[in-house]
Structure formats: C-alpha cells, structure tokens
C-alpha cells in the first residue's frame, strides 16, 4: 500500500490517492504545529480571552458567552446540532477524501484541536472505517464533517468491513474509545472547506482521466468519418494560442498517424462539421479550465480555512475571527469545470448523433446490422441526449445561489460543496455519454465499407473495448454494454497512442 507523508501540505493528487486507499502519515513538523495550536487554545481558555466558538456560541450566537464549565458541552452540542445531512450516503472514496483534507487543514497549525483528534481521524483512514455521511444539506460546509465527527465521540454510524455499526462499536473495532472534546474542537471538526475541497479532489481525479479518454474516443470517431486532418495541423492550431488546444491537437495527430481510413478520405471534403473540427478547441478549453481548477484546489489545500484561526504562542495567544471558511474562489472554479465537462460531453452527444444518422454517416442506419429489424444505437443516442440535457441544467452556477442563514449573521453563501457535488454528477453523466460514443465509434468502424486499416493509436482504443465487448447486433440489452463501457472509462486510463 502506498504511504503519503504530510510534511507541510498535501496537493489534490495526494488527497485523491488517499481517497482511493493510500495510507496517510504525518511528519514531525505537522505534529508539532498541531500540538502548538492546541496549547494556544488551552491558553485562551485559561485566560478567558473571548474567542468565537471557544467561549461563545456560534453563528448568530457569536456574542453569547459560554462559561468554562460548558465549553466541552458546547463542542459536543455543535456536532449534535450540525449533523443534519439528508439524502443518499456519500461513497467511501469521497468520505475518505474529506477526512484527508480535514487532517491537512489541521496540520497548518491554526485550528487548535489536540493531536489525539487527528490520530483518531487517521485511524479511520487506516482501518477504512467510513462514517456514514449524507450527501445533501450543506450550504457551504458544516453538515458533512459533523457526521464524520459524530463517530469520533461514539455517536452516528459507520461502515467497517461491509457492515454498518454505531459509532462506539466502530471505534472499538479499530481499538479506540469515544473521545471527549475540549473547547473549540467541536467547531474545528465541522468548520472550514475540507468537505468541498475533498470532494473536488475526487472530481479532479475523475475529470483528468475523462479528458484523456475524451481525446482518445474522439480520435476513434474522427477516424470513422475520415476526418480532414489539416484542421488539426500544428501550425494551424498555433494560430490560436492555448496550452489545451496544443495538447489536444498533438494527441489527435498522434492517435491518427498512419490511419488508412483517414488517408482514404483526404481532401474529400472542404471541412468537417464543428463537432469534429472543433474538438481541439472544446477539449482544449476543458483542459485549460481543469488546470485552473486544479491550481485553485491546491491553493485551498495550502490555506487555513478555520474560523477562528489561532496564532502566536501559549504565552501570547492570538485569535482572529475571519471568513476563511467561505470559499467563493473554489466554488467559481468548480462551476467553471462543470461547464467545461458539460460542454465536451454535449459535443460528444453531437458526434454520436452523426455516427447513427445515415444522412451523414454513410453507414447503415443507427449502426444496426439489420436496420428495420434492428434499431442499433438509435435509443442510445436518446440516452446521451437526455444526459447532456441534464448536464446543461446542472451547469447553472452554484456559486450564485446565495441564501441567508443563521438569523442574518451568515448572509452570504458561496456554495462550494454544492459546486463539487454538481461536478461529480456531471462527471457521472459525461462518463456515460463518452462511453456511448466509444461503443458507437467502434461499431462504426466495424460497419465501415472500406477494408483500410486503423491507426495504431486508435486501434488500441478499439481493442480495449472489443476485449470486453463484442460487436453489437441487437442480440442483448444495450444497457449492459453501456454500463461495461462506462466502467472501462471509470476504472482504467485511456490506452496510449504508442
């Protein structure tokens, strides 16, 4: 098992790896920063220095003083009242990502929780003990992380080795006792952007893989149509400077190099339809958007996102009330990536339509072996259209949703968690749309009347599919093929062009 050591901060790739099962351990400096901040909070408590969520209520109750005897109860009560998520449970991978991002935030040394809290969170990861976290109910943060923290105090439920159990039983199974929280720990366990950032890391991992598959699948479709390659020339694409366009153009040229199918149609048309000719532009824009989102997520992971933040020393403690738990930049970046993925999957649906349409494909109607007796991919294109339309609806920016909560105290909401959840939902749809295009493009190549050869770079893509699925002949439920192709995209990297 891969082990990732956190010294200063993690990046999105590390969080995604931990989400997928890698082990997380902390370096000595990280433990020192955690302990130092905990001692600062203890000093704030001892001196009675007013600090939000330490010796005051939270939200609109920020000016309500909580006496020292009640501060432990405040921490516990925060978890109880904030654990109000609803809806289906998050998958284990996403919960692990949130926990990893949360630990990463604590290691910056400005939260003030004790090391034993972090050790307990690490134990959840080590033993793959997954708190049950409802997926809905967050206007920014709070609810998801409260459900995780419930397990630490012996409440809530978790899944371990495929079985659901109560928090106390789950802790006992991994050798732990329920924790008693001290001042600020309840607030720190629900605060910050760890939820949206962790979900974003999982989404980035999926999006990166999908972008590679998107280019590979598009190349297979281009070949089936005998694409006019001058549109993808290096000098031509350089007229519109973009790292993304350059990358996609290079990938398409490499994939299609030596294609007999493409060579046979060279010069046959002045230009191809835009869903073919503009692949570098749309896929390239998505890649540029991905790079921006990835940088934003890494910046979020490098940031302190607690409120309040503690600093100074136990002898001279400092506490700052601020708004670092609000993440408009993250929400905007994820919204942008939602639009980018929705756009390229919408373009994929347009290519699917061209593949099944005999008016433009020059192939049997709907890629059926026996059109009329068989419908081939007719309704699969309907499915792609429905998913593309759903993505269009999901493209509305979560970062503009707004809302007023906590008696006007929290009267601006950036909704980064909603943006992350939208991105994951769009990726679900996009993976299936591209899987349908892969099926259709391979079928188109099977039905192509010519006897000329594929390029090596597209043949590996074709073979990856045909290794798990034979040509479709209306002889089995097409949904099963679509699911298998989608699993291929989700579980493996696109086969190389070499």
Residue positions annotated with a catalytic role: 52
Residue 153 in contact with residue 179, Cβ under 8 Å?
A: yes
CA atoms within 13 A on the CB side of 408: 0
Cβ neighbours for 358, distance < 8 A, ≥ 6 positions apart: 364, 365, 366, 371
Of 451, 394, 405, the closest CA to residue 428 belongs to 394
Residue bearing tokens 């989400």: 19
Instruction: Strands of 186-279 (E only): list them.
Output: none
- Beta bridge partners, 6, equal 26
d(CA 484, CA 469): 8
Phi, psi of 312 (to 5 degrees): 80, -145
Which whole-number Å values give the CA distances from 46 to 43, 185, 322, in the listed order? Answer: 5, 16, 23
Number of H helices, E strands in the chain: 20, 9
Residue 145 in contact with residue 135, Cβ under 8 Å?
A: no
d(CA 336, CA 366): 34
What count of other Cβ atoms lies within 10 Å of the Cβ of residue 444? Answer: 23
Which 8-state DSSP code applies to residue 398?
G
| 3-state helix, strand and coil shares in percent for the chain, rounded to the nearest 5 | 60, 10, 35
Burial of 235 from C-beta contacts in 10 A (0-12 / 13-18 / 19+): exposed
């Amino acid at each position: 098992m891969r082990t990732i050591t956190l010294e200063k901060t993690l990046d999105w790739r590390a969080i995604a790896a931990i989400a997928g099962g890698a082990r997380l351990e902390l370096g000595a400096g990280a433990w020192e920063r955690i302990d130092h901040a905990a001692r600062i909070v203890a000093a704030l408590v001892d001196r009675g220095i007013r600090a939000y969520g330490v010796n005051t209520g939270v939200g609109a109750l920020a000016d309500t003083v909580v006496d020292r005897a009640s501060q432990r109860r405040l921490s516990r009560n925060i978890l109880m009242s904030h654990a109000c998520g609803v809806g289906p449970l998050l998958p284990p991978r996403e919960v692990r990502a949130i926990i990893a991002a949360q630990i990463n935030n604590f290691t910056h040394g400005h939260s003030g929780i004790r090391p034993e809290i972090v050790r307990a969170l690490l134990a959840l990861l080590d033993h793959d003990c997954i708190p049950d976290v409802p997926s809905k109910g967050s206007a920014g943060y709070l609810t998801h992380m409260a459900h995780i923290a419930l397990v630490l105090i012996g409440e809530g439920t978790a899944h371990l080795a495929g079985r659901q159990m109560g928090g106390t039983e789950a802790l006992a199974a991994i050798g732990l006792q329920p924790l008693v929280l001290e001042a600020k720990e309840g607030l720190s366990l629900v605060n910050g952007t760890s939820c949206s950032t962790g979900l974003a890391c999982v989404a980035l991992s999926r999006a990166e893989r999908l972008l590679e598959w998107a280019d590979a699948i598009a190349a297979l479709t281009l070949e089936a149509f005998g694409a006019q390659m001058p549109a993808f020339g290096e000098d031509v694409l350089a007229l519109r400077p973009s790292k993304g366009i350059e990358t996609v153009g290079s990938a398409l040229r490499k994939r299609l190099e030596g294609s007999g199918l493409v060579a046979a149609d060279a010069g046959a048309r002045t230009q191809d339809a835009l869903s073919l000719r503009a692949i570098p532009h749309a896929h390239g824009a998505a890649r540029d958007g991905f790079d921006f989102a990835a940088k934003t997520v890494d910046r979020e992971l490098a940031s302190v996102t607690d409120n309040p933040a503690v600093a100074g020393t136990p002898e001279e403690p400092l506490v700052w009330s601020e708004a670092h738990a609000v993440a408009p930049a993250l929400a905007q970046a994820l919204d942008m990536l939602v639009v980018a993925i929705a756009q390229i999957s919408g373009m994929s649906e347009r290519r699917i339509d061209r593949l099944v349409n005999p008016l433009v494909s020059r192939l049997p109607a709907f890629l059926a072996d026996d059109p009329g007796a068989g419908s081939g991919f007719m309704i699969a294109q309907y499915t792609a259209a429905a998913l593309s339309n759903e993505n269009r609806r999901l493209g509305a920016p979560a970062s503009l949703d707004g809302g007023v909560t906590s008696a006007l105290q929290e009267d601006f909401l950036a909704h980064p968690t909603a943006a992350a959840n939208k991105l994951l939902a769009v990726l679900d749809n996009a993976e299936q749309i591209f899987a349908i295009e892969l099926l259709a493009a391979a079928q188109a190549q099977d039905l192509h009347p010519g006897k000329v050869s594929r390029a090596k770079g597209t043949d590996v893509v074709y073979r990856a599919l045909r290794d798990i699925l034979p040509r479709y002949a209306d002889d089995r439920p097409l949904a099963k093929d679509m699911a298998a192709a989608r699993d291929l995209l989700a579980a493996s990297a696109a086969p190389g062009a070499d």
